[in-house]
Amino acid sequence: MGKSENLSKGIIKRIIFILIVLLLLFGVGVLATTSAVNTVTISFADKTELTVVTTKSKIEEILKENNIYIAPDESVKQGLNSNIDATKTINIVRKSEIENEEENKETQVIKTEELLNSEGSVIVEKIIKETVEIPYETIKKEVTSKEKGEKVNKVVQKGKNGKKEITYKVKYQDDVEIERHKLSEKVIQKPVNKIIEVSVRIAVSSRGTSAVRTGAGKWTYSAADLDLLYAITAQESSRSYEGALAVISSACNRAESSRWRRNGKDPLSQYKAPNQYCYSASVGGNWRRFLNGRAPSHVKKAVNDALNGKRNHSYLSFRSASTRHAGVNIGGNVYF
């Protein structure tokens, strides 16, 4: 009898334990069905993102739950009082971005229909088309080079936004948007990407032969040639870096222009062309006072920068500002 009683008690205990486990599992199941768990991505104005897990659906509550506050110059794109949509993404953006989007967005209502929900409230359903801008991307292309030096950026193609047409089905209650579904999307105009060429600025040596790369190829100058470039540039404009850069830029522009190719394919040849720059005997030879390294350091830097691709204008000719010639005044010379 004792053994039978103990066996019965053990069976009863097991049954009770199994029932408790089943009740707990049932309770968890009920909780899961009543509180759906959402994985939400929060995108911030600085382009960083945070993924959170929540049982809440209202955007304001999700942000508060994760101690995220909206700055005065920021806004929630979907609306702070809205519920998360099918994308499960909350976009926090600068207010200026929203204003720009609204300015560039065209909205057209295609169809309007009134419905009644289960509570008897009127729901207005609209099919709308929005034309929005597609932001262009910035692409950097590295120019292959075995040389070592400072990297410089040069814009070889300007960026331009594109356009796309998006069709939505939107529901409103009391003039407040409560639901939005994307039906279709069509690109009207593809964006043009901004392309930046990243090349190596090769240091210009003061001795021997120096290879100086530009966007058009490679110019090779000896130390004596570089000294001559510095001297002629200094004679034309030595008061400021910008003035010196403007002078050498004009020679580089001519070297890369088919109109002036007859005078040579590099800036020093352009400097030496008859009756052009101060190197010509008919114009004057005071540039000699800047030879043997006597050109100001900012003039040397301007020449080196220009030979490596930097320009501060696109003009081909200039005169002294004292001539009152029409044009843009840079460093005491007027460029046109």
pLDDT digits (tens, 9 = 90+) for 242-256: 999 999 999 898 888
Do 219 and 299 belong together in one domain? yes
Name 94's bridge partners.
Answer: 74
Report yes or no: 43 and 89 within 8 Å, Cβ to Cβ.
yes
Worst-scoring range by mean pLDDT, 120-129, 209-218, 288-297?
209-218
- 213 shares its domain with 189: no
Q: What is the pLDDT of residues 179-211, one digit of tens each?
A: 888 899 999 999 998 888 776 655 444 444 444
For residues 260 and 194, membership in a common domain is answered with: no
**Per-residue pLDDT tens for 86-98?**
778 888 888 877 6
DSSP-based three-state secondary structure for 70: coil
Residue 9 belongs to a domain = no
The verdict on residue 153 lying in a domain is yes
Confidence (pTM) = 0.40
Per-residue model confidence (pLDDT) at position 99: 65
Predicted local confidence at residue 190, as pLDDT = 92
User: What is the strand order of the sheet 176-189 is part of?
Assistant: 106-116, 122-134, 162-173, 176-189
Within a domain: residue 135?
Answer: yes
Residue 331: Cβ within 10 Å count = 21
The number of residues in the chain equals: 336
Q: Is the pLDDT of residue 123 over 70?
A: yes
Res. 82: pLDDT tops 80: yes
* Residues of the chain above pLDDT 70, percent: 77
Measure the CA–CA gap between 102 and 302, rounded to whole angstroms. Answer: 44
326 and 253 assigned to the same domain: yes
Residue 139 lies in a domain: yes
Return mean pLDDT, the chain.
78
d(CA 74, CA 92): 7
More confident call, 9 vs 224: 224
Residue 13 dihedral angles phi and psi, to the nearest 5°: -60, -40
Is residue 239 pLDDT above 90, yes or no?
no
- Count of domains in the chain? 3
Does residue 309 belong to any structural domain of this protein?
yes
Q: Is 171 helix (H, G, I), strand (E, B) or coil?
A: strand
Most trustworthy range by pLDDT among 77-81, 120-124, 146-150, 326-330: 326-330
Nearest to 266 by CA among 304, 313, 227, 216: 216
Q: Where is the domain boundary, 170, 201, 232?
A: 201
132 with 152, same domain: the answer is: yes
